[in-house]
Amino acid sequence: MMRLTYLSHPEVVVDPAVPVPLWSLSAAGRARLVALLGRGWPARRPALLIHSPERKAAEAAALIGAALQLAPRPDALSGEVDRSATGYVPHDRHEALADALFARPGESAAGWETAQAAQARILAAFRRGEAAAGKGDLLMVGHGAVGTLLLCALTGRAIARREDQPRQGCVFSLDLGVDHRENRLLHGWLPFEQLSVT
């Protein structure tokens, strides 16, 4: 059975003067991911590694690709929810907008891409990756919000903030059924440190 594993990038260097898609991983974020890879994760080698084109996700995918000797492939459809209408906003404002994004999936929060539109986009990226991986496993490297929207779609759950990752640098994994009618969630969002490598 084909397996999808989705990894959200770990901590980043927050710089209000730099566009959010160009933010890089922080030293702490890199260290967390390197430690995870050093434990032998993932236990099953994926056939395909795709990632968001945003720098932080590309950097995370490069670390994974080097460890697995697998060339990462960017997918333009797998970026985070488009927040370019506001750019950087302080943490409290960001959280309020994220709450609105999930609470009203068909409406834009301050010009952000809607949750419904982002979900359709990440589903398209997933389907493209699934087809390219053939019968092998697929590993996607991306972001918390859009990853949560993918998780909701593949598990038949309503879009809701309660489904969001608990922190940056988390993973969920599913075994994929035929036509996704019998997808089996192996685990929801788990921080790197809680992942089993067996």
Average pLDDT over residues 169-193: 94
Residue 191, Cβ neighbours under 10 Å: how many?
17
d(Cα 165, Cα 196) in Å, to the nearest integer?
A: 17
Show the DSSP H helices in the chain as ranges.
27-38, 55-68, 91-103, 115-133, 144-155
Q: Where are the domains of the chain?
A: 80-136+147-191
Helices (H) then strands (E): counts for the chain: 5, 6
Query: 12-52, pLDDT tens digit by residue?
Result: 999 999 999 999 999 999 999 999 999 999 999 999 999 99
Per-residue pLDDT, 178:
80
d(Cα 59, Cα 31) in Å, to the nearest integer?
A: 12
Per-residue pLDDT, 44:
95
Per-residue pLDDT, 181:
78
**CATH class of this structure's domain 80-136+147-191:** alpha beta
Query: 104-158, pLDDT tens digit by residue?
Result: 999 999 999 999 999 999 999 999 999 999 999 999 999 999 999 999 999 999 9
Determine phi and psi for 72, rounding to 5 degrees: -70, 150
Residue 187 and residue 32 in contact, taking contact as beta carbons nearer than 8 Å: no
Q: Is the pLDDT of residue 167 over 80?
A: yes
Residue 7 and residue 171 in contact, taking contact as beta carbons nearer than 8 Å: yes
